[in-house]
C-alpha cells in the first residue's frame, strides 16, 4: 500500500474539510466528480482511496495531481473493503488536523452540488456534541430516484432494523453521504470500528451515539448510478444484517461511554 505525497498537502486548509471517496472501478465517474467538487468547494481537500482498480481509477489520480493540487490518493493492495477504506480516510484526516471529514460515493448517487449545504449545516452548529450531518433519503424532503421496488424495500428494511436493534436516533443509517467532526471520530476510537463492509455506516453512528454524540439529518435526493456497476448484491445485504445483529452490545471502550439520554437526531430541512 502506498500513500499520497504528503509534501503536496496544503496545510493552510488543515482546519477545514477533507472529502474522502473510496473507489473501485470508477474511472467513468471520478474525473467529473473531482472537477465538480473542486469548483464547488475550492478550499476542501479530496482524498481518493483506491483499492487497486483494474480500470485505472487510481492511475488517473496520479496523472492529474498537478491539475488538481487538492487531490490526493492512497493506493491499497487489492479490494479490501469500503469500511476499512473509509476508516483509513478518517485516520488520514485526523492526522493532518482537519476539523471535518466528508464521505460520499463516487458514482454521482450523491449529488456533489448538495455537499456545500451539508457543509454549511454542520459549520453553523455550535453544539460540539453534534458529531455528524447525514445526507438523508428518509427524512422529510428526502427521496430516491431510479431504484427498483425490491431495492427500495431492502434499504428500508436495513434502516428500520438498524434503528430498532441499535437504538439509533437517525432514520437513514446506511447512507454514506455524511460530514463528521473529526474530534468526535477521534474520541470514539477508530480501532473500535470492526465492520469492513457496508455495515460500517451503521457502526460509526452506533459508536458515536453510545459515546453521547448526536446526529442531524439533511434531506437529499439519492439517484441510482448511470455509469459503472453497483457494488451491492443480495449476499452483501445478508452480511450487513448479520453484522448488525452481532454489533449490539459489542465492546465499547469505557473511556468513551456516556449516558444514552443525551442522544438524539435533529432533522434539518431545505431552505
Question: Is the pLDDT assigned to residue 254 strictly greater than 60?
Answer: no
pLDDT digits (tens, 9 = 90+) for 235-252: 665 776 667 677 776 545
pLDDT digits (tens, 9 = 90+) for 109-143: 999 999 999 999 999 998 989 999 999 999 999 99
**Intervals of CATH 3.90.550.10 along the chain:** 1-106
- CATH number at 1-106: 3.90.550.10
pLDDT digits (tens, 9 = 90+) for 79-109: 888 889 999 999 999 999 999 999 999 999 9
| Three cell numbers written together for 102 | 466528508
Q: According to the model, what pLDDT value does residue 271 have? A: 38
pTM of the model: 0.83
Q: According to the model, what pLDDT value does residue 228 have? A: 52
- How are strands ordered across the β-sheet holding 214-219? 71-75, 45-50, 17-23, 100-103, 178-181, 130-136, 214-219, 265-267
pLDDT digits (tens, 9 = 90+) for 159-217: 998 899 999 999 999 999 999 999 999 999 998 888 767 789 999 999 999 999 999 99
Amino acid at each position: 500500500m502506498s500513500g499520497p505525497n504528503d509534501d503536496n498537502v496544503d496545510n493552510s486548509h488543515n482546519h477545514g474539510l477533507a472529502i474522502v471517496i473510496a473507489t473501485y472501478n470508477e474511472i467513468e465517474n471520478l474525473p467529473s466528480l473531482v472537477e465538480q467538487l473542486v469548483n464547488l468547494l475550492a478550499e476542501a481537500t479530496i482524498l481518493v482511496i483506491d483499492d487497486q482498480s483494474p480500470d485505472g481509477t487510481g492511475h488517473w489520480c496520479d496523472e492529474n495531481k498537478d491539475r488538481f493540487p487538492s487531490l490526493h490518493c492512497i493506493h491499497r493492495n487489492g479490494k479490501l473493503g469500503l469500511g476499512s477504506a473509509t476508516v483509513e480516510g478518517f485516520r488520514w484526516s485526523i492526522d493532518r488536523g482537519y476539523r471535518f471529514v466528508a464521505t460520499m460515493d463516487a458514482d454521482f448517487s450523491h449529488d456533489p452540488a448538495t455537499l456545500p449545504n451539508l457543509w454549511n449545516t454542520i459549520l453553523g452548529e455550535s453544539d460540539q456534541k453534534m458529531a455528524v450531518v447525514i445526507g438523508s433519503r428518509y427524512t422529510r424532503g428526502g427521496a430516491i430516484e431510479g431504484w427498483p421496488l425490491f431495492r427500495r424495500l431492502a434499504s428500508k428494511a436495513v434502516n428500520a432494523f438498524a434503528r430498532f436493534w441499535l437504538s439509533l436516533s437517525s432514520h437513514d443509517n446506511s447512507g454514506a453521504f455524511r460530514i463528521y467532526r473529526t474530534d468526535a471520530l477521534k474520541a470514539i476510537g477508530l480501532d473500535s470500528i470492526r465492520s469492513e463492509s457496508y455495515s460500517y455506516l451503521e457502526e460509526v453512528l452506533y459508536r458515536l451515539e453510545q459515546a453521547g454524540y448526536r446526529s442531524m439529518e439533511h434531506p437529499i435526493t439519492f439517484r441510482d448510478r448511470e455509469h459503472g456497476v453497483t457494488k451491492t448484491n443480495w449476499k452483501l445485504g445478508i452480511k450487513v444484517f448479520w453484522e448488525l445483529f452481532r454489533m449490539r452490545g459489542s465492546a465499547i471502550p469505557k473511556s468513551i461511554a456516556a449516558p444514552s439520554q443525551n442522544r438524539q437526531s435533529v432533522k434539518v430541512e431545505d431552505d
